[in-house]
Amino acid sequence: MNFEYPTLEGKIVKRYKRFFADIELDSGEIVTAHTPNTGSMKTCWEPGWKAFISHNDNPKRKLKYTLEMTHNGKSWIGVNTSRPNHIAKEAIEKGVVEELQGYQSIKPEHKVGNSRIDLLLYDGELKSPEKCCYVEIKNVTLKGEGTLALFPDAVSERGQKHLKELIDLVEKGHEAAMLFIVQREDVDSFSPAHEIDPKYGSLLRQAYDKGVKVLAYRCALSKENITLKDKLTIKL
C-alpha cells in the first residue's frame, strides 16, 4: 500500500483528546494532525519520537494532516487504523496470506446481519457463492515484553462482538478468519492482551477452537509504503 497523498516528517509533541496530535515539522512549524485511532496507542508514541504525516487539501476536511506512523528508534509503527483493510486486501490479492488463497473475488465491507465484515472472499455469484470466507481485520500496534505484539491495547467490546460474529458464522457452516495486521517490525510473535481484556483473549481462544482461522502477519513499513511481509507465531 503506497501513501496516496503527500507526506511530511516531523516530531510528535503530544497526543490529546484521542483524535488529535501536535506535530513539529522539520521547518519548526507545529501542525495539528487527525489521529484515526481510538485505542490507547500505548507503546506507540512519546514526545520527541519521529512522526510521519500525510497532507490532504480536501476542503471538506477540518484537519489537513493525518498521523500515519511514529518511530521509536527501532521501527516505524503504523497508527492509522484505516490502513489495515487496504493492506490486507492487497496482500491477499498478491498471495502473501497463504491461508486465504483460492478464492476468485474479494468484497470489502460485506453486510452480514446488522454488521459489516471487513472482507468477504468468495467464488461464484455474490448472492449465492459456491464457497466463501468471512475475514475480520484488526490493527496491532501494542508491544508487550520482549518482542511480543499484543491486541487489544484497551478493552474492546467491539472486538469481542466481532469474534462472536465469526464464531456464529463458523457454527452455521461458513469459513471465517481473524486476521491481525501487525504494523511494527520490532516484534516476532503475537498474543491476545489477556491482562488488558481477558474476555477478548478467552473469545479468541474459543473462536480458534470452533474453527475460525486466527492469523497474525507483520508489516514492512517505510516512508514510501506499508506492505504485509511475513507470518508471526501466535500464542493463545
CATH code of the domain containing 202: 3.40.1350.60
Domain check: are 71 and 94 in the same one? no
Domain check: are 89 and 70 in the same one? no
**For the segment 79-100, what is each residue's pLDDT rounded down to a tens digit?**
999 999 999 999 999 999 999 9
pLDDT grade for 122, boundaries at 50, 70 and 90: very high
Predicted pLDDT of residue 112: 87
In a domain, 124, yes or no: yes
Domain limit, last residue, from 50, 78, 106: 78
**For the segment 26-81, what is each residue's pLDDT rounded down to a tens digit?**
999 999 999 999 889 999 999 999 999 999 999 999 999 999 999 999 999 999 99
In a domain, 56, yes or no: yes
pLDDT grade for 148, boundaries at 50, 70 and 90: very high
Domain check: are 55 and 110 in the same one? no
Domain check: are 136 and 163 in the same one? yes
In a domain, 91, yes or no: yes
Does position 179 have pLDDT exceeding 90, yes or no?
yes
In a domain, 17, yes or no: yes
- Under a CB-based contact definition with an 8 Å cutoff, are residues 112 and 134 in contact? yes
Which CATH number characterizes residue 33's domain? 2.40.50.580
The predicted model gives 209-224 an average pLDDT of 97
Predicted pLDDT of residue 10: 97
Q: Which residue range forms the structural domain that includes residue 46?
A: 7-78
Q: Which helix (H) or strand (E) holds 52?
A: strand 50-55
Radius of gyration of the chain (CA): 18
Domain check: are 38 and 138 in the same one? no
How far apart CA 159 and CA 178 sit, in angstroms, is: 10
Does position 140 have pLDDT exceeding 90, yes or no?
yes
Domain limit, last residue, from 78, 101, 123: 78
Predicted pLDDT of residue 7: 95
Domain limit, last residue, from 46, 78, 110: 78
Residue with C-alpha cell 457463492? 129
CB-based contacts of 158, cutoff 8 Å, min separation 6: none
Domain check: are 163 and 99 in the same one? yes
Domain check: are 108 and 68 in the same one? no
In a domain, 1, yes or no: no
* Average pLDDT score over the chain: 96
Predicted pLDDT of residue 128: 86
Does position 132 have pLDDT exceeding 90, yes or no?
yes
Domain check: are 74 and 50 in the same one? yes
Number of domains the chain contains: 2
Q: Is 146 exposed, middle or buried (0-12, 13-18, 19+ CB in 10 A)?
A: exposed
Handedness of CA 32, 34, 183, 148 (dihedral sign): positive
Does position 115 have pLDDT exceeding 90, yes or no?
no
